[in-house]
Amino acid sequence: MATKKLLDGNHAAAYGVKLVRAEVLGIYPITPQTELANQLADFVASGELKAKYITVESEHAAMSVCAGGSAAGARVFTASSSQGIVFMEELLWQVPGMRLPVVMAIVNRSIAFPGSLRTDHNDSLLQRDNGWIQMYCENAQEIIDACIQAYKIAEDSRVYLPTIFAYDGYVISHTAMPVEIPDQEDVDAFLPPYRHEYVYLDPKRYKPVITHEPHSEVGMEYRFQMEEAQNNARSVIEEVDREYGKMFGRSYGGPVEKYRCEDAEAVLVTMGSITGTARVVVDEMRREGKPIGLVKLRVFRPFPVEEMQEIGRNVRAIGFVDRNISHGSAGGGVGTVETARALYTLDERPVLIGFYAGLVGKDVVPGDIRYMAERTLKAAETGKAERQVEWIGLRKQAESVQVKV
């Protein structure tokens, strides 16, 4: 039966990897992911997890190990953060191109320079274009659930794409909460042993992906197939979440989780740990009679276009809280720009405001959430935004960094 333990995010992720019976681990420790690597090493050393833990000299080597292990037919896992993700970059493009269902935890940490050991989402969102599925976790319980779901999604023959589950460094990775650990037999029933339909390193099961034709002739077809797999993943993610909910009693609404949106005139969209703070603020404002709702974007890739359009049809304004930055963009962070494109085809579009918040580890406190909610409600009331993009929590709010309508 399921058990309960007090776990921080890193230990929750380690228990998730143990439950899925990962067979090859290639991990190079980096703050704030190190305790995840340490706990997995303890599991392997004690015999609790029967896996090959390969000590590597770099993050580039860690992903190389995982690519090789997956190509040989093993269930693999790795994890990294920040500069480590950047160091993996070459392999991070090859793995989805080879259709290998590698699963990776990204413990979000800002990238230098400027940078810190604390969280923002640029390290994971830097990988938004290379074919990885991306899931974002709010707390330690969701980490263990997302880890198990990630393998089910990645290993589905309709998908065969690597999957990231990301969670905020220190805010989640080092903060403990009561976590329900599923029973091993139940996880085994939910996630059968891994067997890829095509295994690169087994001549009897290998179906050529790379042909003798020049890549300039067939490469576009490969990209098209990867895009089809991303589109297939939309329904697979929903199926897996529903099945998980039936078996374990917890589901997350598929790619998007809506909170108090039924009669909302405006909503905030959040990712990761900010969502917990936002729920409290939304409840407070609802008690004051203010029609604000909350949308937790749990899956960023594939981007939930239809879900965002449905939300856009039912509210008058959307405020997207971006814990990332896209310097020189058309206006706002990565989430805001993606949402703008999703809403573009609607005949009547809500007002969209982009908020930069929590960059380079800056805390996002309830007052910040309330300010963003109030600004979004005002846009819903007036039908326009005073500014398309706002920076939250700057020491000096310079006009030069505000994008005006």
Q: Give residue 219's pLDDT band: very low, low, confident or very high (50, 70, 90).
A: confident
Give the pLDDT score at 335: 98
Q: What is the mean pLDDT of residues 104-122?
A: 94
Q: Quick one: CA dihedral 229, 234, 238, 241, positive or negative?
A: positive
Q: Is residue 115 predicted with pLDDT exceeding 90?
A: no
Give the pLDDT score at 24: 98
Q: Give residue 401's pLDDT band: very low, low, confident or very high (50, 70, 90).
A: very low
Give the pLDDT score at 300: 98
Q: What is the mean pLDDT of residues 186-207?
A: 80
Give the pLDDT score at 33: 98
Q: Give residue 142's pLDDT band: very low, low, confident or very high (50, 70, 90).
A: very high
24-27/76-80 β-pairing: parallel
| Angle at alpha carbon of residue 20, lines to 18 and 25, rounded to 5° | 60
Q: Tell me the two tokens of residue 138.
A: 């709010």
| Better-scored residue on pLDDT, 366 or 401 | 366
Helix (H), strand (E) at residue 221:
helix 215-248
Q: Is 145:248 a contact under the CB 8 Å cutoff?
A: yes
Q: Is residue 405 predicted with pLDDT exceeding 50?
A: no
**pLDDT for 290-337, tens place per residue?**
999 999 999 999 999 999 999 999 999 999 999 999 999 999 999 999
- For the segment(s) 3-248, the CATH number from 3.20.20.70, 1.10.3720.10, 3.40.50.11900, 3.40.50.970 is 3.40.50.970
- For the segment(s) 256-404, the CATH number from 3.40.50.920, 1.25.40.10, 3.30.530.20, 3.90.226.10 is 3.40.50.920
**pLDDT for 146-192, tens place per residue?**
999 999 999 999 999 999 999 999 999 999 999 999 999 999 999 99
Distances (CA, A) of 357 to 57, 121, 342, 361: 35, 11, 22, 9
Q: Which of 24-28, 62-66, 218-222 has the lowest mean pLDDT?
A: 218-222
Q: Where are the domains of the chain?
A: 3-248, 256-404
pTM: 0.94
Is there a shared CATH topology between the 3-248 domain and the 256-404 domain? yes
36 φ, ψ (degrees, to nearest 5): -65, -50
Q: Is 134:301 a contact under the CB 8 Å cutoff?
A: yes
Question: What is the rounded distance in angstroms from the CA atom of residue 318 to the CA atom of residue 49?
Answer: 45
Q: What distance lies between CA 277 and its chain's CA centroid?
A: 18
Give the pLDDT score at 204: 65
Mean of all residue pLDDT scores within the chain: 94
Q: Tell me the two tokens of residue 394.
A: 């700057």
Q: Give residue 27's pLDDT band: very low, low, confident or very high (50, 70, 90).
A: very high
Strand ranges of the sheet holding 351-356, from the earlier edge strand across to the other edge:
256-259, 292-297, 266-270, 317-322, 351-356, 387-391, 403-404
Among 62, 1, 52, smallest CA distance to 28 is for 62
The DSSP secondary-structure symbol of 295 reads E
Distances (CA, A) of 31 to 28, 110, 123, 174: 10, 11, 13, 11
Q: Tell me the two tokens of residue 333.
A: 């962070």
**pLDDT for 32-63, tens place per residue?**
999 999 999 999 999 999 999 999 999 999 99
403-404/387-391 β-pairing: antiparallel
Q: Is residue 378 predicted with pLDDT exceeding 60?
A: yes
Q: Residue for token digits 């969502």?
A: 275
Report CA Rg, the chain: 21
Q: What is the mean pLDDT of residues 92-119?
A: 94
Helix (H), strand (E) at residue 314:
helix 305-314
Q: Give residue 205's pLDDT band: very low, low, confident or very high (50, 70, 90).
A: low
Q: Which residues, at least 6 apart from 60, have a Cβ–Cβ distance to it below 8 Å?
A: 87, 88, 90, 91
Among 136, 14, 25, smallest CA distance to 77 is for 25
